[in-house]
Structure 1
């Protein structure tokens, strides 16, 4: 009896399902809804693929519909490509009879790879549109991409199919040496502002050569890429003060992902490495962001690296990692570094004036400033720290203590902070951190007071008159102009910025 009952129920289900009509589709009537009417694909370099962008298509009706055609207006010649609900269609350009169920939606994912010659010569925009249906039922969604021309620098391919290599720290890495007489690019040792540069692998500066960066030049580094200044080679970054938000005279180093999503993602490229024995290096008005290590400076020769008016942000490990280096720094700002914004290890000689070393990295194991006269290891190597002077500086951040000393008593460890605002709120009996009583190392220290930066999240470290750093500097150490080229008042403010009223 139970067997017959089950058969009866199954029969009813089959009968009802055979009568259903909601699996039948009706033709689209031009009433589709879209998540956006224009898809803006962020700026891309010529012939470099974009990220993938999303468009959602809604069927608000009670009917399952069939869209006769979904296609790019330029058809098979379009530089865009799509997938529609996971389908690739005809070369990602044309899709026929696309079903969209009632009260449902589908996803379209869009990418592009285009040359500068494909763009409108007036504005360098490459455009197309996605067309849904045709005739009276035609609906469209516009596609817009800015194509940017660039000079591409990359390792050549050897006859055996391997990539060109250069040696860094005894290891072969993908890289090449810049050539002042390159057959295609001309003088690769002089970076101009005419076009941006995109670097793949490490671009090396040969021994006894100098690489120069003109004010306004832009350099974009691909993943695992960087700049390597070899022994006896020199780096000259010649930015100047800018007058607009476009930083038209700043030299800018960053990753080659131009989409806004990547504006502040650390570790997109490797580092600028000043190798053992590099010489006569100067950096002025450089903005560097989103590297693993911003500046990696190693045992340079007897000359002093001068760094002025420079900003370094969002580095996965260090903003500046200096190993037995010689640095004179003025108007430097560093923030968001996974380990330390400034780390001077294995000794060296350093002087920093009117600098803002901040670190708001999202963990509790970072520092704004770290000083050491050794290298970590089972048997630590030591080297004298002959000078580490900080004048009119701010050393701050989100951690309890943003200043760290790692001193080996077997060699010299000379340091002094004069008229600095310092974050160190943990209690300690360590003799190295007696900021109020140790006048050999600390003079006029403002401890744990809020500098009231304008907007740390956006790396805006301007201050106003309510800041604890306002007018607390020593006139003896004043740099006449701040990082923006604004004249400092007397007594000067601490840090890289002259105080101003914030916009309301």
Structure 2
């Protein structure tokens, strides 16, 4: 009997609630609370949509309320757009009679797409505000966005509606060749610091041409985009040392999402590809981050890449993938790569001095440095590694062993580490990893010493005088200045940074 009584009462409650089609509300009294008083939408390029930002609105009262109007101050002409608790209102600009229950909250999601001409000409800020109600009950939340002008480079659209394409490794990909006499952009083979550049698809450098990046140039790559240096073409990156944290003289390659959320997300764009037969490359003071492969060097010709004062971070696969390449590297820093920070495969000729190769990618299958004289699918599958020399370097990371040799005895495999700090924690009888007794390949190795980097998660690989790398370098290999332009002392520290006193 008791069961029937409970079911009867439940049925009455259900019937009553199902008959109610609205709530009794009172008008908003202007006492709404907000999760923030200003919504800062991070920097966006002109006419490129922003990420979506959130504002939470609270009703702290005991009454269900009705907000007569939620709208953008600039009304239908505003470059911002909103949804309010999933509703789109009038073009995302104006919302009428919005109900907010007692002790409850609602979400407002905000986006923007604006031109540089919409912004304030003195500070390039585009602003508006969300207004709640009007008159004596008016409440406001400010909206602020920095709009950045840029040069946009992208594949043209063909008459049939398809995009322009170029050939990379025998595959047609969305891309275009840079034009030194473009009717709109002028010389597209010269990148200056006057405006940032945004690239869609692969920007190709035509055969026998040279692309030059001046100090301070900023290049932002859209998803699946990159830079392709064709056969007999050259890449010249002419950055110089900067004096502030803004890297004002560095050349910077990164993804085109400027919001802080994307600062360190790997894989936002593809790669810089130095193709088979490309030639005469010089790279100085380049910061490259958040690619799939940072520098992808394929069967380079007999010239040697001069790669100096370069930082590469947060790559899905490799910081540098060199296939039968020739590289002279000085003051290079690489960190966070899903497979290897530096991978030299299918032979080649390499010299690295005062470099910091670290890999703190989360996982256990990656290396800081990988060397190989073979490559599956190539004909032949082996190629001589004629030299791989590391002088005054740090090879470290979060894994157990950060140095890997993949040697095929059918081709030459010549390598040597001199005065290096190396992480290799496993005990092995493999003759290739006898760091203390193999004087042909290893000299003055500091095995598993702690470099005490300043802040690995922020890619700050400075050291101080408590580091195991402090003053352990060989003067014979010294590069006079470190990656920041600081003069090295004698004996020099290992790695790309001369030691300094860290701030407290």
Provide the C-alpha distance between the structure 1 equivalents of 2:239 and 2:9, rounded to a whole number of angstroms. 82
Displacement, 1:9? Answer: 4.3
Aligned to 1:224: 224
Question: Could you say what secondary structure the match of 1:476 adopts?
Answer: helix
More displaced stretch, 82-91 vs 380-389: 380-389
Aligned to 1:326: 326
More displaced stretch, 58-67 vs 378-387: 378-387
Provide the C-alpha distance between the structure 2 equivalents of 1:243 and 1:129, rounded to a whole number of angstroms. 38
Aligned to 1:193: 193
Call closer, same or farther: CA 1:135–1:487 in 2, change over 3 Å: same
Instruction: Say if 1:69 and 1:96, in contact at 8 Å, map to a contact too.
Output: yes
Question: Could you say what secondary structure the match of 1:98 adopts?
Answer: strand
Q: 2:432 aligned with 1:432, yes or no?
A: yes
- Counterparts of residues 227-238 of structure 1 (less than 5 Å): 227-238=227-238
Displacement, 1:8? Answer: 7.0
Call closer, same or farther: CA 1:7–1:445 in 2, change over 3 Å: closer
Question: Could you say what secondary structure the match of 1:432 adopts?
Answer: helix
Displacement, 1:231? Answer: 0.2
Displacement, 1:64? Answer: 0.5
Provide the C-alpha distance between the structure 2 equivalents of 1:197 and 1:435, rounded to a whole number of angstroms. 46
Call closer, same or farther: CA 1:9–1:314 in 2, change over 3 Å: closer
Provide the C-alpha distance between the structure 1 equivalents of 2:14 and 2:391, rounded to a whole number of angstroms. 86
Call closer, same or farther: CA 1:29–1:350 in 2, change over 3 Å: same
Provide the C-alpha distance between the structure 1 equivalents of 2:17 and 2:175, rounded to a whole number of angstroms. 65
Instruction: Say if 1:27 and 1:67, in contact at 8 Å, map to a contact too.
Output: yes
More displaced stretch, 14-23 vs 231-240: 14-23
Question: Could you say what secondary structure the match of 1:136 adopts?
Answer: helix
Question: Could you say what secondary structure the match of 2:193 adopts?
Answer: coil
Aligned to 1:98: 98
Q: 2:290 aligned with 1:263, yes or no?
A: no
- Counterparts of residues 77-476 of structure 1 (less than 5 Å): 77-377=77-377, 381-476=381-476
Provide the C-alpha distance between the structure 2 equivalents of 1:384 and 1:419, rounded to a whole number of angstroms. 25
Question: Could you say what secondary structure the match of 1:382 adopts?
Answer: coil
Displacement, 1:468? Answer: 0.4
Provide the C-alpha distance between the structure 1 equivalents of 2:390 and 2:323, rounded to a whole number of angstroms. 18
Question: Could you say what secondary structure the match of 1:368 adopts?
Answer: strand
Call closer, same or farther: CA 1:6–1:414 in 2, change over 3 Å: closer
Displacement, 1:23? Answer: 2.1
Q: Which string of whole-angstrom CA distances, capped at 9 and with x for unpartnered residues, describes residues 118-153 of structure 1?
A: 000000000000000000000000000000000000
Call closer, same or farther: CA 1:308–1:9 in 2, change over 3 Å: closer
Displacement, 1:154? Answer: 0.2
Displacement, 1:376? Answer: 2.7
Call closer, same or farther: CA 1:343–1:11 in 2, change over 3 Å: closer
Provide the C-alpha distance between the structure 1 equivalents of 2:172 and 2:276, rounded to a whole number of angstroms. 16
Provide the C-alpha distance between the structure 1 equivalents of 2:11 and 2:232, rounded to a whole number of angstroms. 89
Q: TM-score, normalised by structure 2?
A: 0.97
Q: 2:49 aligned with 1:49, yes or no?
A: yes
Displacement, 1:367? Answer: 0.2
Q: TM-score, normalised by structure 1?
A: 0.97
Question: Could you say what secondary structure the match of 1:126 adopts?
Answer: strand
Instruction: Say if 1:287 and 1:311, in contact at 8 Å, map to a contact too.
Output: yes
Instruction: Say if 1:69 and 1:133, in contact at 8 Å, map to a contact too.
Output: yes
Call closer, same or farther: CA 1:2–1:441 in 2, change over 3 Å: closer
Question: Any stretches of 5+ residues in structure 2 without a counterpart?
Answer: none
Question: Could you say what secondary structure the match of 1:122 adopts?
Answer: coil
Aligned to 1:488: 488
Provide the C-alpha distance between the structure 1 equivalents of 2:238 and 2:473, rounded to a whole number of angstroms. 28
Provide the C-alpha distance between the structure 2 equivalents of 1:352 and 1:481, rounded to a whole number of angstroms. 15
Provide the C-alpha distance between the structure 1 equivalents of 2:342 and 2:18, rounded to a whole number of angstroms. 73
Provide the C-alpha distance between the structure 1 equivalents of 2:405 and 2:21, rounded to a whole number of angstroms. 77
Aligned to 1:32: 32
Call closer, same or farther: CA 1:100–1:388 in 2, change over 3 Å: same
Provide the C-alpha distance between the structure 1 equivalents of 2:361 and 2:475, rounded to a whole number of angstroms. 32
Provide the C-alpha distance between the structure 1 equivalents of 2:76 and 2:349, rounded to a whole number of angstroms. 62
Call closer, same or farther: CA 1:13–1:203 in 2, change over 3 Å: closer
Displacement, 1:299? Answer: 1.0
Call closer, same or farther: CA 1:10–1:305 in 2, change over 3 Å: closer
Displacement, 1:300? Answer: 1.2
Q: Which string of whole-angstrom CA distances, capped at 9 and with x for unpartnered residues, describes residues 303-360 of structure 1?
A: 0001000000000000000000000000000000000000000000000000000000
Provide the C-alpha distance between the structure 2 equivalents of 1:62 and 1:471, rounded to a whole number of angstroms. 68
